[in-house]
Amino acid sequence: MSDADSFIDEVTEEVRRDRMYLLLRRWGWIGVVAVVAIVGGAAFNEYRKARETGQAKALGDAILSALAENGSTERAERLSQIDAESAGGDAVLNMLSSASQFEAGSEAEAVEKLNAIAVQGDLPEIYRAIASFKALLLQTDSLPAADRRQQFEALAAPGAPLRLLAEEQLALIEISEGEIQAAIERLQALRQDAEASFDLQQRAGQLIVALGGEPEPLVAQQG
């Protein structure tokens, strides 16, 4: 390589460095902002998680303290004084409070509180389903079987979170109305359902035997 070529290469490299420094001076702040945003975002997420964990622990401690009350009226009163600070936590509190109200003899108030949760649109479906399910259980002796059947059928819709438990309740309604064969068939199907827990399968099998039927052998589920 000649001296002239070497000189040209050096000049070219110098120009490249000058351009790079110019770009860094002009746009380097973007990289700094990006780094700050990433670090700041991670720190905020950790703070948020710690805050949520702290709130959940405080809520749990307050609930346990309220449930330690001996009287159902006292428990309901203590639970009503807790601030959940979230829609989900508030729903859990109201469910627990409704149970204490029912124990204290206030069935209508307990059911009303649960039904209010069941129609609260900003709650996840599982909260609303549990509230509706519990409200129906509390009304076993007061709500006509036809009305309970209709509502449990809605809870037993495909994909519903409490589908199998609702099916079990439908079988119990059929038994109470003398529809023994229909109840046995429903319980047989319930036992074979891939999502049925062992306890649920066992309960269904015991009911089938009590009704004079014979539980069908369980079909091995594909893993």
Domain boundaries along the sequence of the chain: 144-223
Measured CA to CA, the distance from residue 43 to residue 39 in angstroms comes to 6
How large is the average pLDDT for residues 98-120?
A: 85
Residue 107 identity (one-letter amino acid): E
Residue 98 neighbours by CB under 8 Å, 6+ apart: 109, 110, 111, 113, 114, 134, 138
Is the pLDDT score of 106 beyond 50? yes
Q: What is the mean pLDDT of residues 184-193?
A: 95
The CA–CA distances, whole Å, from 175 to 67, 99, 101, 135, 171 equal: 35, 26, 29, 20, 6
- pTM metric for this prediction: 0.65
pLDDT tens-digit readout, 157-175: 999 999 999 999 999 999 9
Q: Which residue has the tokens 């999502």?
A: 195
pLDDT at 117: 87
Residue 63: per-residue pLDDT: 60
Which residue is it, tokens 């369980």? 218
Higher pLDDT, 73 or 157: 157
Query: Which residue did the predictor score with more confidence, 82 or 21?
Result: 82
Label residue 39 exposed, middle or buried (CB < 10 Å: 0-12, 13-18, 19+).
exposed
